[in-house]
Each structure stands twice: as C-alpha cells, then as structure tokens.
Amino acid sequence: MADAMYKTNKGPFVSLMTGLPGGGKTFLGILLVAALLVPLSNLLLPASSPFHVPTYLVSLMGKYVCFALLALSVDLIWGFAGILSLGHGAFFALGGYSMGMYLMRQIGDRGVYGHPILPDFMVFLNWTELPWYWYGFDMFPFAILMVMLVPGVLAFVFGWFAFRSRVTGVYLSIITQAMTYALLLAFFRNDMGFGGNNGLTDFKDILGFDLQATGTRLGLFVASLIALALGYLVCCFITQSKLGRVLIAIRDAESRTRFSGYRVEYYKLFVFVVSAVLAGIAGALYVPQVGIINPSEFSPANSIEVVIWVAVGGRGTLWGAVLGAFLVNWGKSYFTGSFPEAWLYMLGGLFVFTTLFLPKGIVGTSGTWIEKFKERRRGSPELAPAAAVKEE
Amino acid sequence: MMSTQVKESKKQDLTSILYLDGVSVSFDGFKALNNLSFVVEPGEMRAIIGPNGAGKTTMMDVITGKTKPDTGEVFFKGGIDLTKHDEAFIANLGIGRKFQKPTVFESQTVFHNLELSLKGEKGVMTTLFAALNDAEVARIMEILGVIRLTEKAGDLAGSLSHGQKQWLEIGMLLMQDPDLLLVDEPVAGMTDAETEQTADLLRDISKTHSVVVVEHDMEFVRALNSKVTVLHEGSVLAEGSLDTVQNNQRVIEVYLGR
C-alpha cells in the first residue's frame, strides 16, 4: 500500500514508467496485436480464409478507433475533472475539417471542373479565388498543425470565458451544446467556404497515396491505433500526476480545492484544451477513412452519443471509454443492419440501463464486483458496512 | 511570485493578523453582515459564537475571498487588503479554512489529501511535473501523526468516520502552514472523547498559529479557554472571556437564554 503511494510521489514520468492504471498494459498490448495482426491477415491470408480481414472491415475498425480516441478525450475531462461536455463533437469535426481541407487541396486539377486550385464547390459558387483561410492547407505539416491548433484555440477561448465565470455543471453542458449547434449552423452556410451542406468529399489521395488503395487504408488504420495508444499514454501521464489528483479534487470538492490554493479555472482550462486537441486528432484520422466531412458531424446528437459511449464503458477509467466506444458502435453497425427502426430506441434504452444498473459503466462496475469478491474471500465482515455507507 | 501590496491606512491596526472594520454584506436585501468590526491579534485563539443566521459563515466567506463585501475593510497581517483577492490567492497568502461540513477529497487516499494541501507553488505546470521530496514526505508523515491518522494513510478519505474527516481537514489546513486558521464548527457530530481531543489539538495549533473557531458547543468553547466574540444579526454583540459574555444581559436575551 505504502509502496503504491510513494510511487505516485516521484512525479508523472516515474509513474508512467513504473506502472499504468489497472488494465493499461493489457489494453496497449491489444492495440499492438491489432496493429500487427489486422494488416498481416488482410495482406497474407486468402480472401476465402475465415481469418481474413477484408479491407472494408479495416476501414470500419479504423473509424471505431477514431471514435475511441474521441471517447478517451471526453473521459479525460468528464471522468477526472467532472466537466461534462455535450459539444465535444465540435472539436472532432474541426480536426476533421482541417484534414478535409488538406485532402481537398490534394485533389488539385483532378476535380470535376478541373480548376487547378479551387475545389469544385467553390467553382460551382462562381468564386474566383481561394479564401485566405484556405491558404497553406496544401502543405501536410501545416494541415496537421491546424488539426491541433484550431480545436485547441477554440477550447481555450471557450474555456477561458466559461471557467473564469465559474460556469459549472449542467449550465456548462448546455453552453457546450450551444457551441456545437452554432458551429453546425455556421458550417451549413455556403458562404462560410467549407462546402456548405455537402461538406468536403471526393478526396483522391493523402501524401501522394491513393485513398482507395488497400495499403493506404491499412496505413490509416495503424496510424489511428498509434494515435489512440499515444493519446492513452498522454491521459495516463496527466491523470497519474499531481495535476491529475487536483482534477479529481476539483471534480469531488471544487471549493475545497480553491481554498487549498489552486486556481481551479486554469486547471480546467488546461485539461479542456488537451482534450479538445485529442478530439481534433481523432477527427483528422476519421475523415480520410470515411471519405467525407460535413456539418452533420457538429450535430448535438453526435456529441451526446460520445458521452453515452463513455458512460457505458465507465467514466474515469480511460480504457473503459475506449471499450464503450467500440461496443456501442459495433452494436450500432450490427443493429442498424438488422433492426434499422429500433436502433435509436436501443441506444436510449442502453443509456437508461447503464445509468440505472451500471452507474460506473462496464469497467467500473465489474471492478467493484471483483473487489467485493476478493473481500468475501478474505472474509472481512467489517468492510461491508463501510462500503454501504459510501454509496449514499 | 506573490506581490502583497501594502496599503497605508489611517486607522487600521498594523500589528493585527486580521482586521475587519464596518463590513456589510447583503443578499437580496437581507443583511447577512451589518457593520461588523473585530480584530484578531497574532497568535490569538478566538472563538466566535452566535445563533443560526448571525453571519458566521458569511464572515468566513468574506475573509477567504468567496464573497466581496458591499462596504467595509478587511485586512490581513496589517496591510493586505483581502477584498481585492480571490480564494486561491488568499489561501496561498496564509489563510486556511475548514468548512462546517467536513470537506475532504473522498475518492483519494488520506496521504494524497495531505499531499494536495502541501504549501508551495500551485501553478498548472508545476503541479503537472510535481514530485515529492523527502522533506515533504516527512512533513506529511508528521501531520498524519498530529491528526492521529498515520494508520489510515493509505485508506480512501471517504471511508473515514465523521470525526476523522474533521481531523483530516484540519490536517489539510496545517499542511498549508497558514498564519491564520478559520475553523467552522470543528466538533459538530463528534463523540465526547473526540471533542476533547479536538480541543487539545486546536490549543496545540494555537501555540504557533492564529486561530478563529466558530462553534455552537459551549462546553467546547470553554475547553478552548479563549476570548469569545458573540455575533448577532451580522454584527458584534459582545466580546470578552466566556464568563463575561455569558453574564452579559443582551447575550442572555438573544442567544444563551433561549
């Protein structure tokens, strides 16, 4: 017990080197195995083999991995700092649009209208020159920078005003929702210069590689897994540091944290920006794999769905959020195919079920069961009432 | 990092640790504090008593920066104007506050509760890369001993008994090493034995710190053996030793003789 305590006191680097939170190593192991086996199976096994992973499935899984990273970013702020964002889809979509703009510029003169610089939709709108905010997106490094910078800056400005005014709880959730809704409306407009209703699509290639080629799809899948693994490590680094403990303190007793001398608003701002950047990266990897980005990614329902993934997996557990994203999205793919009318009811039912019966999500609740089981085997009756009191 | 602007004032007492003069606060027309004035000297222990709604908690809110007074002056250590700063700044200046309802970080260990309260730089980046040195671990261990929770260091704070939580919160204040401790009803919900131990603990603390205790329990106030200020409807009704105060006719009317 004391050992575990001192380990966390040697700083975040030592914490990360000497141990990940429960299940962390297994989780990274699974990601590694997937990054190796899926491409190998796709490339080496014949299509007739039951273990062959077809290319469409690779892209589908790649999409889930991006959703998982988005879920992770929401868990970082909701599970640890208690900031329930119902607008995180906005940061995801902004990262996606930044990548989409790069992919549009990559099309060059291969568009329907064959204009050397202007994307098709601008030619269609009779625009004669590229808007200034499209400059630089023909360069991949610049686009990658924007993938992180645009969501990060929006989160910073939004958070600066919200957290400094001490907007918390349900009010904060509502204004995050309003933020993504406002962006939805803005991006619908043709004169915003982002393709309006249709968004950005008809991408050809990325870094010179054909987006339809199997090799590119495998590469994007592996890149998404790497991003998820790195994002997970960043989250572990933060949550295992003293700053992570301050975040939990803010979640559990905000005013106590203030009276302990911490500027709560700066801590929230920090973690909110980190989370928005992670969401932006997830969006950037998502767009080339699905081949389109349009304003519907800003829709409030999307952001609420992310929260459901995290709740189902278990908030504050990090890899639980990833598990939740996979399970719910797999269920969505399966049920929309089998029972298309019933899917939305199932999603709603799932959320109600989770809130009522698995308040800590799959990972949290199973963790509690394992603890109880161990206690029973140890046979310590005096611990049972203490646990009951804690439930209050 | 912390600049403490010292203001020249005509009438304030520059030797005091805490100085309130003519402080008024009203919420929607209700005067929570009405021209409240009192002074606490360095090293003093002061008990503040008063019926519900007398303004005790609002007074704490004003001193710790949570509530800004409508009028009046609040000075710390002679020259620092507390009305101009927020909670975090005031906490780092050296004022620690214990809430009425024990407020600890329930889902973290007792050890980490104290670690989080450690005095020092509280910036975001400093905290992200923070590591404990041996002196700091020793300090935490020392406080664990003082609040008698050494055995519980690795337990979650949420699993402590009510009395232990009260002590943990006092321990968290001590980790901040404040010059002034504001302690709101420290023995509410405690057993007699715990109350007695808490009085001992506070008397010990007051040897090296200034302490302001808000309390209902008369036996406990007697055990503290300190100067008493009686609040009523947002201002000071009487001040002096507990015996003097208890014999004050107005105090008997509004409070003790109910």
Residue of chain B minimizing CA distance to A16: B129
The enclosing domain of B23 has a CATH number of 3.40.50.300
Residues B205-238 pLDDT 10s: 998 999 999 988 888 899 888 999 999 989 999 9
Q: Name the residue facing B124 among A11, A14, A266 (closest C-beta).
A: A266
Domain count, chain B: 1
- In 3-state terms, what secondary structure has residue B177? coil
Residues A153-185 pLDDT 10s: 999 999 999 999 999 999 999 999 999 999 999
Alpha-carbon distance A294 to A97, whole Å?
Answer: 8
**A259–B96: do the CB atoms touch at under 8 Å?**
yes
Give a yes or no: residue B11 inside a domain. Answer: no
Give a yes or no: residue A244 inside a domain. Answer: yes
Alpha-carbon distance B79 to B5, whole Å?
Answer: 8
**Structural domain boundaries, residue A136:** 24-300
Give a yes or no: residue A385 inside a domain. Answer: no
Alpha-carbon distance B146 to B175, whole Å?
Answer: 11
Alpha-carbon distance B142 to A314, whole Å?
Answer: 37
User: Phi/psi at A49 (nearest 5 deg)?
Assistant: -65, 140
Segment A10-16 mean pLDDT: 81
Give a yes or no: residue A182 inside a domain. Answer: yes
**B97–A259: do the CB atoms touch at under 8 Å?**
yes
- In 3-state terms, what secondary structure has residue B182? strand
Give a yes or no: residue A184 inside a domain. Answer: yes
Alpha-carbon distance A312 to A4, whole Å?
Answer: 29
User: Phi/psi at B11 (nearest 5 deg)?
Assistant: -115, -10
Residues of B in contact with A388 (CB under 8 A): none
Q: Name the residue facing B108 among A11, A12, A248 (closest C-beta).
A: A248
E strand segments, A248-367: 292-293
Q: Residue B23: which pLDDT band, with cuts at 50, 70 and 90?
A: very high
Residues of A with CB under 8 A from a CB of B: 1-2, 4-6, 8-12, 14, 238, 241-243, 245-246, 248-249, 252-253, 255-264, 266-267, 270, 386, 390
**A243–B130: do the CB atoms touch at under 8 Å?**
yes
Q: At a CB cut-off of 8 Å and minimum separation 6, what does B180 contact?
A: B17, B18, B40, B76, B94, B95, B96, B209, B210, B211, B212
Residue of chain A minimizing CA distance to B126: A243
Cβ-contact A83, A273 below 8 angstroms: no
What's the confidence (pLDDT) of residue A375?
79
Q: Give one DSSP letter per residue of A76-96, joined into a string.
A: IIIIIH----S-HHHHHHHHH
DSSP A22: T
Residues of A in contact with B86 (CB under 8 A): 258, 263
Give a yes or no: residue B168 inside a domain. Answer: yes
Give a yes or no: residue B198 inside a domain. Answer: yes
CA distances from B226 to A4, B46, B239, B240 (A): 43, 6, 11, 9
**Structural domain boundaries, residue B105:** 18-256
Q: Count CB-CB contacts under 10 A for residue A3.
A: 7
Give a yes or no: residue B250 inside a domain. Answer: yes
Cβ-contact B114, B143 below 8 angstroms: yes
Residue A209 host element (H or E): strand A209-210
Q: Name the residue facing A261 among B88, B107, B115 (closest C-beta).
A: B88
Segment A57-72 mean pLDDT: 97
Give a yes or no: residue A191 inside a domain. Answer: yes
Give a yes or no: residue B102 inside a domain. Answer: yes
Segment B124-152 mean pLDDT: 92
Give a yes or no: residue B150 inside a domain. Answer: yes
Domain count, chain A: 1
Q: Residue B13: is its pLDDT beyond 70?
A: no
What's the confidence (pLDDT) of residue B79?
85
